[in-house]
Amino acid sequence: MTRSMVLTVLAGAAISMPAMADQTTPDEVRAVVSEMMADAETRSSLLAGGDAGHDSAFFIAGDGFRLNIGGAIQTRYMMDFRDDQNSDDFSNGFQLPKTRLNFGGTINKDWAYWVEGQFDTTDDSGGSFKLLDALFGYNFSNGWGLYMGQLKPPIVREDAMSDFKLLAVERAPSTDFLRHDRVKAIWLQYQAENWRTWLTFNSGANTDNTDFNTYSNADYAFSGRFEFLFAGKWDQFADFTSPKGSDYACMLGLAAHYQGPHNTPNAADVDTSVFLYTLDVGVEGDGWNLFGGFIGRHIEQDTLGADSTDFDDFSFVVQGGFMLTDKWELFARYDALIVDDNRNFNNDYMSWITGGVNYYFAGHAAKFTGDIVYSIDDTLPDVSALGGFATTQGLQGDTTEGEVAIRLQMQLLF
């Protein structure tokens, strides 16, 4: 195929697709932006003349501009075993949780952008397309960067990690209940050799794809994260795994988030303030990896004419993996959710054990994951009061201990 034909095909694909966005994490966003900036500097001759092809991404480039086109597909088969849930103690079937398209690149070499979207197939919406991430910004030559848009803020590292670069099929169940998810934000970031930081002014937790006057938006919200690299390189922590032959690396992360309520004239509205704080440690070596994370969340709710209500919830996760060969990886995880006594749940402490394998056909770009999740404690009706399990977890909750979910997943990135 000639170069002009390639340009025609890719340009046609770009024109025929709507604007899109990703689940990209702060780590991934930073990595993508850095790679794009470096690419723009080292490919001046390419950009001047115009070209298209593949060099770790499908691209169209020319005259100082570059457009990368990519996407991802995950397919799962799920089995859930429970005890006497209205005679429905076994559920099974296929799931297509993440089918995505993304666009990213540079404008005039200095400005970077990223847009990604996902076809929703787990909420019975008929596969409607949903915006995930949409952001752009400028990277200064001294290590600083200024960005704005919609993305996951850099608070909980496990949440910020790409959905396609986890050890297990999904994040820890306990993390799902406390994680922040996407916001609309302006943020300042800085990276040095051994430390980096992000500071954001944002719309508050779980406010993606909402208008400015929507009740879920906080009147004000601030997030900050600091990471220190004791050993190794930053790119070693772009995922949780560590291939054979990797050098020793160690990283510490601290983060906090505070958001005030969305005040309205309605006296019956519940004004909710949230303070979230986290600590995490990652250690990697020659074919092995360890990760530990802690999340604390303080919620204060006020209603006119009533006493305020406070809740303090916590979660933690410990996981590790070991490469048996260059392709096969074993992993295990323990995580727990500890809820406030004032919630009056049956269980203030709920925990899960997860174990499984990964097989890397072509790194994360083509990977099989199989795992088993075991609920050590009964989880119903308590988790329902917290919004229930995400369907992607494979767990549905049980009134007795011992629920088991078996998850088989194949993913492809392009």
List pLDDT tens digits, range 351-368. 999 999 999 999 999 999
275 vs 65: CA distance, rounded Å: 41
**Residue 193 maps to a domain:** yes
Pick from 272, 276, 270: nearest CA to 295: 276
In the beta sheet, which residues pair with residue 102? 70, 116
The mean predicted confidence, pLDDT, of the chain is 87
302 vs 86: CA distance, rounded Å: 38
**Residue 242 maps to a domain:** yes
Residues 156 and 293: beta-carbon distance below 8 Å: yes
**Average pLDDT of the segment spanning 148-153:** 94
**Residue 272 maps to a domain:** yes
Q: Tens of pLDDT along 361-389? A: 999 999 999 999 999 999 999 999 999 99
**Residue 151 maps to a domain:** yes
236 vs 250: CA distance, rounded Å: 9
**Residue 56 maps to a domain:** no
**Average pLDDT of the segment spanning 150-167:** 94
Question: Could you tell me the CA-to-CA distances from 129 to 3, 73, 205, 212, 288 in Å, in that order?
Answer: 31, 14, 21, 21, 38
pLDDT at 32 over 80: no
222 vs 241: CA distance, rounded Å: 31
233 vs 161: CA distance, rounded Å: 17
- Name the amino acid, one letter, at 109: K
**Residue 4 maps to a domain:** no
Residues 176 and 169: beta-carbon distance below 8 Å: no
Handedness of CA 8, 11, 14, 15 (dihedral sign): negative
In the beta sheet, which residues pair with residue 226? 197, 254
How many domains is the chain partitioned into structurally?
Answer: 1
**Average pLDDT of the segment spanning 221-233:** 97
What are phi and psi for residue 14, nearest 5 degrees? Answer: -65, -40
**Residue 263 maps to a domain:** yes
- 310 lies in which domain range? 71-98+121-413
Report the 10 Å Cβ neighbour count for 286.
12
412 vs 154: CA distance, rounded Å: 26
**Average pLDDT of the segment spanning 49-58:** 82
pLDDT score at 269 = 79
What CATH number corresponds to the domain at position 378? 2.40.160.10
> Which of 106-110, 225-229, 330-334 is least confident?
106-110
**Average pLDDT of the segment spanning 76-87:** 84
**Residue 34 maps to a domain:** no
pLDDT at 46 over 90: no
